[in-house]
Structures are given as structure tokens and as C-alpha cells.
Structure 1
Amino acid sequence: MQTAVNPRKGYLLGLSAYLMWGFIPLYFKAVQNVPAVEIIIHRVLWSAILGSAMLLVWKHPGWWRELLQHPGRLGVLTVSGCLIATNWLVYVWAVNNGRMLEASLGYYINPLINVLLGMLLMGERLSRLQWVAVGLASIGVVQQVWQVGSLPWVSLTLALSFGFYGLIRKRAPVAALPGLVVETWLLVPLALGWVAFHPESESFQPAFLFSHQVMLLALAGLITLIPLLCFNAAARHLPYSTLGFLQYVAPTLVLILAVTVFGEALAPATLTAFVFIWLGLLVYSVDTWRQLRKR
């Protein structure tokens, strides 16, 4: 049964997801003594366990039968799972290696990727004011990329991986929670295989597993599932380009944390990009508000 589109619900869910993602560096800094790959392994394992428990409580009748009847969807979820795992790994590495500003830039680029994918693959169209907003944001992003002086692989990897992930999940006919559970369980064999080939991994030694630190890593399941559930649900109620512009909330919070809490230098070029991007967001928000009032 097709879920009725509710834009107000979509905005609330999308904003909640991006606020949580904006503050998530605080968590990764708390576990930065653990290598990024191992953090992702724990994230996959704990997300699979917690997601399965949530699915037992928050029932979705018939989802497993539908999946078996359409095995092609498993392939789609495998691709989306690999995309989100790549995004996780690069993001955690960037946060714990003093490159939060690059991560922030990646998520500023991401809405432009979303708009492009929405236009090219989903037939979405932008109004004149929305084009102005995209132009302003593009100026800010291009100016920032130019100042970097080299290919910003962290930023581009984050933007492209999450852009395609969101598009796949929007088009995949699988409910948010079952889809997330299947995604994470499809990644579990890869995670366990990595552990088997790296028995020296610090976070899988008995002393670590019985310490308080393992409880911090277990929280990775919760902080992973909740915002992703909100995001996937929001994607079903909003145009993909609109969902993309809400994305600016998360990198702005990451930018603020990077400069004020973790002492990363904010160059004038980055500040200029920040101003252009928020001008674009302002124009887009005004246009969206006008359209909602007309409706």
C-alpha cells in the first residue's frame, strides 16, 4: 500500500535527521582511539542487532515475504548498503583525522548532487527562484573547491556516496526500517570477514570487549539507525531536491563544531563559501514557503 505524501511530516523528519548528523562528530571524537575501520565494523554489527530488535517490536507485516518474492530488491539493498558503508568510513576517518571542514564541504556539495540526480533521473523541475538558490550555492561550493588546490576526494566521496544512497532508497519499494535491517545484515558477512582476517584488531580483544569502551561502540547502532530512519521516511514525503537543501543543516553544525570546539582553521575562502551557500538556502526556503502558502 502506497504511503500518502505528507510534506509537513517530511520536513520534520528530514530536519530531525540532519540535526542528529550535525552533532554526530562529538560521538566519533569520543571513540577516536579506535581505528576508523573498526568503528565501522562495530557500527554494522550493532546496527544489525538493534535494527532486528526494533523490527520485532515495530512490526511490518509481510515485508520478508515481499522481499523473497522480489529477490532483485536484495541486489538494490546490497548496493545501497555498500554506498552507506563507504560514506560512514570516509566520514569517520575525516572527523578523527582533523578534516572535519572537508567533511562539511562534502555535505554542502551533496544537495547539488541531489538536485542533479533529481533532475536527470526523476524528472523533477525547479522554479526560477530555486534555480537562483542553486546558482548561489554552486558559486560558494565551486569557490571553495578552487581554493583547495587539489581534488577534494573526501568531500566528493561523501557527496556522491550519500547522494546515490538517498536516490536508491527513495526509489526502492522497501519500507525504511526493514530496508535498513536488510542493508546492515548484508554487510555483516563483510564485517565478520574483516575481523577474521585481522585477529589483532584492538577493539575485538577480550580486554576491550569487557571494558566500558565497548558500550560506547555499541551506541553506534542507535546513532546510526535513528537518523537514517528519519531520512528514509522523509525521502518518501519530499521531492528529492527539497530533501537535499535540508542537508545544509548538518554541514553547518559540523563546520561550527570544527572551528569552535576542535580548533580547525576557518580560512576566508571557506567563510565566503559558507555565506553564498546560506544565501542560496534562504532564497530556496522563501520560495518553498510561498509555494506551501499557495497550496
Structure 2
Amino acid sequence: MGQKTAGQERSGLLLGVAAYTLWGFFPLYWPLLEPAGAGEILANRMVWSLVVALVLLTVTRKWAWIRPLLRQPKRLALIGLAAAFVSVNWGMYIWGVNTGHVVETSLGYFINPLVTIAFGVFIMRERLRPSQWAAVAIGAVAVIVLTVGYGQLPWIALTLAFSFAIYGLIKKQVGLGGLESFAVETAFLFLPALGYLLFLGGEGRSSFTTHGPGHALLLVLCGVVTAVPLVAFGAAAVRVPLTTIGLLQYLAPVFQFLLGIAVFHEQMPVTRWIGFGLVWAALVLLTVDGLRQARRGRRAAAVADPVRERLLVTEEQQPLA
């Protein structure tokens, strides 16, 4: 049993690394789709993602959840709202990468855990530990420093961080599986996206049919590129501890940041280095705190197990009423 669990965790770790690595290398893919603009790329991503989701549902034969969901209008409305926020996130990310702001897009995903924690306090009324408060405070100072460095609010990063945090908050309320949620969200986005693509075609501004089959294939593959890391992440999430997923999530923005500097040669003045350094310090605090809490949880579980076992034995020895 232990050996099987170790094997599952190992495969889960590999799947998690694969998912976040693919997300981290997305900045190399979106420029390949030029001369398509961010709006056309986003619309293609929405349309072809639904096609891929339907194929995956057919292969896995996961259809039973649809009918009960259709009888829950409030839940459907929340999924529609989640779809709206993820479309903002996708669109801003594509636009940011294709306009030379790869480093700032990475900042958005570095900041995201801090925004999520802030939402936990102000929306979910959760209580923070001192180290979490310190991390959020350092993150706020980092945004101020980066605002000075950029000469304006780092609005691309903040839009990415807040849209994804709100998306995560809504998904927590919905409680739907990864593939199922992906299918319904893209179903909400499909018709507006298809309408926009038809409009571009009618205006003669669509690149899908005017730049050769290779370009059209790359646009179609937006659906696969979106779905593959999502499916890998879903498989990893059920195999490895939450603390491992929490650590892996930093892989994607690290790769994005390195690509922005090494491949796209974006500028990093001293103030930006200081701002990023503060964000990284906040994330180190969060990570150390999370690992400490996980260790305490495991220790408490190890202590509780023999106690629970003795209680069960005692109950079994008692005569039936």
C-alpha cells in the first residue's frame, strides 16, 4: 500500500511539474500566433478549448454531472461569472505577452497568492497568522515600490492577480471538478467568441483563413495548449499534498520571469529588482509558514491516530445494547 502511494505521489509530482512548466512557457507560444491580435487569439482559445473539453468528456465518459447542474441556476450563474473573470485573465495575459510585458505578467502570478490571502481576510473573514500578515504587508510595499519603478501602477500584473484570485474564489463556491468546470466555463464563452471570430471574418480582419494552414493550425491548437496543463494539474492535485501544489505554483511565474529577461530582453531597473525582491521575500514567508503548518498537521495526525485506534478498540469491546 505504501509503495503504491509513493508511486502515485511521484507521478503526481511529475504531472504537477509538467503543468506549471507548460504554463510557465506560454510566453513562447502566443507570439507565434501573430499577426493575430490578442482579441482574435483569445476568441480562438475559447472556441477550441470547448471543442477539446467535449472530446475529453467523450473519451472519459463524464456526462452524468450535466443534468443535475442544469437544475441549479445559481450555481450556473456563478460559473458564468467565473468564465467572465478567466476571460479577462486570459485576454490580459495574451495582450501583455504580445506587447512586451512578459516580466510584468510574471509579477501578476507572483502577487496572486498574496491577493488570495487578502480576499480570505476581507471577504471570507478568515484569521491570518502573524507571518501571513507580514507577507501581505511586504506585498503591499512591493506594489508601491514597483509603482515608483514603472511610473504608474503595475496594472497588467494587478489585473492578472485580481482576476485570477476572484476566479479562484468563485470556483471555490461552485465546487466543480477541473475538467467539468473547464467545459462549462468554455461553453459560456463559446458563442460570444464564435460571434467575434465571424465578425472579424466578415470584416476581412481575420488571420485564420488569410495566413496559411500553419497559422490556422496554431490557432486551433490554442484549445489543446489550454487543456493539457489543466488536465495534468487536475491529475496532480489528487495525488500530491496541497503543500506540494503550493510550492509548485511558483514554477510558472519563475519561468515567465526568466523568459522575459533572457529571451525577450526586457529591462529590469534597480527599483523593479527591489520590488520583485520584496514580493519574493513575502512568498518565502508564506512558503515557510505553510510548510510549518503542514508539519504540525502531520504531527497532530500521527498523535491522534493511535488514540483513535484505542477508542475504536474500547468501543468494540463494549457489549451491544
Question: Which TM-score applies when normalising by structure 2?
Answer: 0.78
Task: Supply the AA of the counterpart residue of 1:115.
Answer: I
Q: Which residue of 1 aligns with 2:279?
A: 277
| Contact 1:103 1:155 survives alignment (8 Å) | yes
Deviations 1:181-240 (A, max 9, x none): 1111111110121123222133232x44x611222222211221233445678889988x
Q: Kindly tell me: are residues 45 and 228 of structure 1, through their superposed partners in 2, closer, same or farther at Cα, counting changes over 3 Å?
A: same
Kindly state the Cα deviation for residue 82 of structure 1 after the two structures are TM-superposed. Answer: 1.3
Decide which of 80, 103, 106 is 1:104's aligned counterpart.
106
Q: Is 1:251 equivalent to 2:253 in the alignment?
A: yes
Q: Kindly tell me: are residues 234 and 141 of structure 1, through their superposed partners in 2, closer, same or farther at Cα, counting changes over 3 Å?
A: farther
| Contact 1:112 1:244 survives alignment (8 Å) | no
Kindly state the Cα deviation for residue 106 of structure 1 after the two structures are TM-superposed. Answer: 2.2
Distance in 1 separating the partners of 2:244 and 2:169: 13
Kindly state the Cα deviation for residue 35 of structure 1 after the two structures are TM-superposed. Answer: 1.2
Q: Which residue of 2 aligns with 1:68?
A: 70
Identity in percent = 38
| Contact 1:47 1:225 survives alignment (8 Å) | yes
| Contact 1:108 1:141 survives alignment (8 Å) | no
Kindly state the Cα deviation for residue 17 of structure 1 after the two structures are TM-superposed. Answer: 4.1
| Contact 2:148 2:271 survives alignment (8 Å) | no
Kindly state the Cα deviation for residue 242 of structure 1 after the two structures are TM-superposed. Answer: 9.9
| Contact 1:16 1:227 survives alignment (8 Å) | yes
Q: Is 1:202 equivalent to 2:191 in the alignment?
A: no
5 Å matches for 1:1-150?
Answer: 12=13, 17-60=19-62, 62-150=64-152
Q: Kindly tell me: are residues 124 and 249 of structure 1, through their superposed partners in 2, closer, same or farther at Cα, counting changes over 3 Å?
A: farther
Distance in 2 separating the partners of 1:267 and 1:82: 35
Task: Supply the AA of the counterpart residue of 1:265.
Answer: Q
Q: Kindly tell me: are residues 225 and 234 of structure 1, through their superposed partners in 2, closer, same or farther at Cα, counting changes over 3 Å?
A: same
| Contact 2:149 2:269 survives alignment (8 Å) | no
Distance in 2 separating the partners of 1:138 and 1:102: 16
Q: Kindly tell me: are residues 116 and 232 of structure 1, through their superposed partners in 2, closer, same or farther at Cα, counting changes over 3 Å?
A: farther
Task: Supply the AA of the counterpart residue of 2:208.
Answer: F
Cα RMSD for the two superposed structures:
2.8
Q: Which residue of 2 aligns with 1:263?
A: 265
Segments of 5+ residues of structure 1 without an aligned counterpart are: 1-7
Distance in 2 separating the partners of 1:203 and 1:278: 40
Any idea what SS the aligned residue of 1:265 has? coil
Q: Kindly tell me: are residues 244 and 161 of structure 1, through their superposed partners in 2, closer, same or farther at Cα, counting changes over 3 Å?
A: farther
Any idea what SS the aligned residue of 1:212 has? helix
Task: Supply the AA of the counterpart residue of 2:89.
Answer: N
| Contact 2:107 2:276 survives alignment (8 Å) | no
Task: Supply the AA of the counterpart residue of 1:56.
Answer: T
Q: Which residue of 2 aligns with 1:157?
A: 159
Question: Which TM-score applies when normalising by structure 1?
Answer: 0.84
Task: Supply the AA of the counterpart residue of 1:277.
Answer: V
Kindly state the Cα deviation for residue 164 of structure 1 after the two structures are TM-superposed. Answer: 0.6
| Contact 1:94 1:154 survives alignment (8 Å) | yes
Distance in 2 separating the partners of 1:261 and 1:58: 39
Q: Kindly tell me: are residues 245 and 163 of structure 1, through their superposed partners in 2, closer, same or farther at Cα, counting changes over 3 Å?
A: farther
Distance in 1 separating the partners of 2:137 and 2:17: 23
Decide which of 175, 192, 195 is 1:193's aligned counterpart.
195
Task: Supply the AA of the counterpart residue of 1:171.
Answer: Q
Kindly state the Cα deviation for residue 84 of structure 1 after the two structures are TM-superposed. Answer: 1.0
Name which one, 1 or 2, has greater alpha-carbon Rg.
2
Decide which of 212, 216, 219 is 2:221's aligned counterpart.
219
Any idea what SS the aligned residue of 1:262 has? coil
Kindly state the Cα deviation for residue 96 of structure 1 after the two structures are TM-superposed. Answer: 0.8
| Contact 1:48 1:181 survives alignment (8 Å) | yes
Kindly state the Cα deviation for residue 174 of structure 1 after the two structures are TM-superposed. Answer: 2.0
Kindly state the Cα deviation for residue 58 of structure 1 after the two structures are TM-superposed. Answer: 2.0
Greater CA deviation, 265-274 or 224-233?
Answer: 224-233
| Contact 1:22 1:250 survives alignment (8 Å) | yes
Q: Kindly tell me: are residues 44 and 81 of structure 1, through their superposed partners in 2, closer, same or farther at Cα, counting changes over 3 Å?
A: same
Count of residues in correspondence between the two structures:
284
Segments of 5+ residues of structure 2 without an aligned counterpart are: 1-8, 299-321
